[in-house]
Chains A and B, each alone.
Chain A
Amino acid sequence: MSAADLIIGLVLTLLVVAVLAGVATYNRLVRSRNRVREAWSGVDVQLRRRASLVPNLVESVRGYVAHERGVFEEVTRARGALQQAGGAAAAASANNALSQALGHLFAVVENYPTLRASENLTALQRELSDVEEKVAFARQFYNRNVLDYNTRIETFPGVLVASNLGFAAAEFFETGDEGRAEVTVSFAPAQAPRPRPEDAPPSASPPA
């Protein structure tokens, strides 16, 4: 066997190994991206549940405080925004806006003792707080998957495949400031790193 044969053989072997490694990396990235999507659907279900509770809530309050127009409009607008929001970052900010609007609504309700005691309203409030809790827990799972996925596409060897085959970083679903503070208190070291705003791509769900 001549030296040339040996070199050709070596190069071919290296090529095959490289291709196999590339395929494995690609498959891992796809798996990871699919996990992010699945996790997002978990958040999405809860967000939809939350949005669907709003009309009932508005109905049960409207009879008592019809004159507080601004509040109702704010809530309805926030709900619409949440339903139309595409992507994690947009959905997160819409969700925070809805939380704020609902906060205003409940502040108004506080002034009406009869309304506050209404059984219908307390049931709705309980359900709403349940959904909010579930959003928070589903968000946690989603963010963990995003963290895993983003780390994969930013580290070697994933970065080689990702940059060439269009794997874009996924967005985190972030809560408002008050929620963040609550989480930081109990467990500081494991906070997910936040992507810089200028890095975030416009679309939330990872590109196909």
Chain B
Amino acid sequence: MPEPSQPVLVYDRVAANRRATRRLLALFTVLILPFVAGLIPLLTPVIYFGVLLPALGGAAFDRIQSTVEGTVLMFATTATLVLLVVLVAGIAVAWLELEQATRLVLRLTRARPISPEDEPELWRAVENLSLAAGLPTPKVYVIESRDPNAFAVGLDPEHAAVVVTRGLLGLLDRRGLYGVIAHELSHIGNQDTRLNTVLAAVLAVLRLPLGLLTRLNRNPLVIKGCLFLSGLMAVIAAMSVLAILAEIALALWFFSGEVRDFLAATTRGKVAGFVLIGMMIFYGPLFMGSPFYVLFGAQRCGRRVSGAVSRQREFLADADAILLTRDPEGLALALVKVGAASGAAMNLPRAAAHLFLVEPLRPETGWWDRGVASHPPLEERVAVLARMGSGISPEALHAAQIAGVTFRLEAPRARGSERDRSQRPVADADARSRDAGVGALGVTVEPAEKPTAPPERIGGPRSPSEPATPLLFSAGVVSYIRVGERSAVLYERPDSASAVQARLATGTVLALRGVVGDFIWVETSQGIAGYLPRSTPVSWGTE
């Protein structure tokens, strides 16, 4: 388990998170400025020849251009006009995003409003925790999806809504549900919902130039070509800045007397000198480098910053949720369960990803993707929660993980009664979950034949000998397991009296196929499928 070095007391964490968020928002502002500046040279020709030339007429245009002051004036006018266009367009797009965001997300996720009679338990959790948070009771929505997740939307607490999936209701017990709802209500109370919407709107603005380009030309080769060309220009620009600076330094050193005399002699000389130097140092490289930043750089950086803000807010919401429920373990175990049960990515636009309880999109592992991710790794969140309370036992973590994995591997149909669920054969369940797109597990082994064993029941009674060995813990999507310190026996059927398929040495990696009663259904790299008792010391891995 990672050991984060963050303040542990809830009140301190809230304060620390607030400070971090402010810093990150300042960074966002810094990011926007060169974006606007970079648009100026891109749009200048349009304004210059599209607006000013026709408006003034050729003769007047030439007359103004013939003097240095006129040229400077023309440049300033152009820049101002471009700035106005960019600002108006940006604000318009951001405003539209803000207006539509809540409705759009609710529509895209097919969330359905519910009444207290539909889901009394859920409703009561929302009502009670709103009282504890001092918030007006938000509207409650349910998404008919098996993927357990939840999110909150709304620009202010009065118009907020809490949305949970059907899967979440099926997976979590009361404690977990209270933890998750408290987390979402904290998002509303901290106005993260608004912050997130604003961030999404800013991102939409940053993505606008590339969006326009792809709209105009759908050929991916063109986009790649643009990326390459603009990247090349940016590199040349960066090098030319250095070259120009060196040249200026040299020139000033050699001809210092004459240059100073020329510059000081007349007003005209002064202005010309400044414009020249300014153009060379600032405008030239900006002109060269801006396409890359405007098209690709800004939105990439924007996603990083918005991801960082959003990750901070997740920690804050976790901390605040504990303030409401006083039960760090409840939320931590709920997160573990949800993490282990999350299989397929939800059908969502990337801009809405940061709203959710856990990352709803495909888990990404590269350093860049971790920086872009809207949520901190679950392990880290769980570790922080564990430190807030009195710690969480490995047994509880293990049980939560098993519960999550079991839930994921069950067929979508299993939403019915408890009895219905326990009647279903495992092979059926596996096939169904694969049909449902749970292929995102990352299991690399080819599917073997269905087990010849008579179908066992899922979710049968637990054996009295619960695993007591500490497990390496990971809260992502579990896809493989590794045999722990002592060697394990692979049985042919989920029954320790059945024939032994193989003996597995310590460290053997097995693909996870499912959970059957007290056995874990696995497959070796040689394609031997079999059952491992749950009490075998194993560590869980995500891929």
Interface residues of A (CB under 8 A from B): 38-39, 42, 46, 130, 133-134, 137-138, 140-141, 144-145, 183, 186-190
B128 close to A (CB within 8 Å): yes
Candidate in A38, A140, A183 with the most chain B CB atoms within 10 angstroms: A140
- What residues of chain A lie closer than 8 Å to B323, measured between beta carbons? 144, 190
- Given A130-B124, A188-B390, A190-B9, CB of A183 within 8 Å of CB of B326: yes
Q: Which of B1-40 touch A at CB < 8 Å? A: 8-11
B358 close to A (CB within 8 Å): no
**What per-residue 1/0 map shows which CB atoms of B379-392 lie under 8 Å from chain A?**
00000000011100
Task: Jot down 21 A-B pairs with beta carbons below 8 A, ordered by A.
Answer: A39-B134, A46-B131, A134-B128, A134-B131, A137-B129, A137-B131, A138-B131, A140-B132, A141-B131, A141-B132, A141-B133, A186-B327, A186-B328, A186-B329, A187-B327, A187-B328, A187-B389, A188-B390, A189-B8, A189-B10, A189-B388
- What residues of chain A lie closer than 8 Å to B326, measured between beta carbons? 183, 186-187, 190
- What residues of chain B lie closer than 8 Å to A140, measured between beta carbons? 132, 324
A189 to B13, CA, bound (A): 13
B124: nearest residue on chain A (CB-CB)?
A: A130
Tell me how far the C-beta of A110 lies from the nearest C-beta in chain B, rounded to whole angstroms: 25
Contact of A190 among B10, B134, B329 (CB under 8 A): B10
Contact of A141 among B134, B327, B329, B390 (CB under 8 A): B134
- What residues of chain B lie closer than 8 Å to A145, measured between beta carbons? 134
Known: A133-B128, A140-B132, A141-B134. 12 other contacts (CB 8 A): A42-B134, A134-B128, A137-B131, A137-B132, A141-B131, A186-B327, A186-B329, A187-B326, A188-B390, A189-B10, A190-B9, A190-B326
Interface residues on B, range: 20 to 34
A187 to B386, CA, bound (A): 11
Contact A134 B127 (CB under 8 A): yes
The DSSP consensus for interface residues of chain A is helix
A189 to B59, CA, bound (A): 79
A190 to B324, CA, bound (A): 11
A183 to B8, CA, bound (A): 19
Contact B134 A187 (CB under 8 A): no
- Given A187-B326, A190-B9, A190-B326, CB of A138 within 8 Å of CB of B389: no
A183: nearest residue on chain B (CB-CB)?
A: B326
B475 close to A (CB within 8 Å): no
Contact of B128 among A38, A137, A144 (CB under 8 A): A137
The 7 A-B pairs with the shortest beta carbon distances in the complex, nearest first, are A187-B326, A137-B132, A137-B131, A141-B134, A138-B131, A140-B132, A137-B128
A141: nearest residue on chain B (CB-CB)?
A: B134
Contact of A189 among B9, B124, B128, B324 (CB under 8 A): B9
A188: nearest residue on chain B (CB-CB)?
A: B390
A141 to B329, CA, bound (A): 21
- What residues of chain B lie closer than 8 Å to A46, measured between beta carbons? 131
A46 to B127, CA, bound (A): 12
Contact A186 B11 (CB under 8 A): no
A133 to B127, CA, bound (A): 10
- What residues of chain B lie closer than 8 Å to A137, measured between beta carbons? 128-129, 131-132
A191: nearest residue on chain B (CB-CB)?
A: B326
- What residues of chain B lie closer than 8 Å to A183, measured between beta carbons? 326
B322 close to A (CB within 8 Å): yes
A141 to B390, CA, bound (A): 23
A187 to B324, CA, bound (A): 11
A38: nearest residue on chain B (CB-CB)?
A: B134
- What residues of chain A lie closer than 8 Å to B128, measured between beta carbons? 133-134, 137
- What residues of chain B lie closer than 8 Å to A190, measured between beta carbons? 9-11, 323, 326
A190 to B9, CA, bound (A): 7
Q: Which of B122-138 touch A at CB < 8 Å? A: 124, 127-129, 131-134
A188 to B131, CA, bound (A): 22
- What residues of chain A lie closer than 8 Å to B129, measured between beta carbons? 137
Q: Which of B206-237 touch A at CB < 8 Å? A: none
Candidate in A138, A186, A190 with the most chain B CB atoms within 10 angstroms: A186
Tell me how far the C-beta of A37 lies from the nearest C-beta in chain B, rounded to whole angstroms: 12
B134: nearest residue on chain A (CB-CB)?
A: A141
Q: Which of B318-369 touch A at CB < 8 Å? A: 322-324, 326-329
A158 to B133, CA, bound (A): 25
Candidate in B9, B132, B327 with the most chain A CB atoms within 10 angstroms: B132
Tell me how far the C-beta of A12 lies from the nearest C-beta in chain B, rounded to whole angstroms: 34
A170 to B535, CA, bound (A): 54
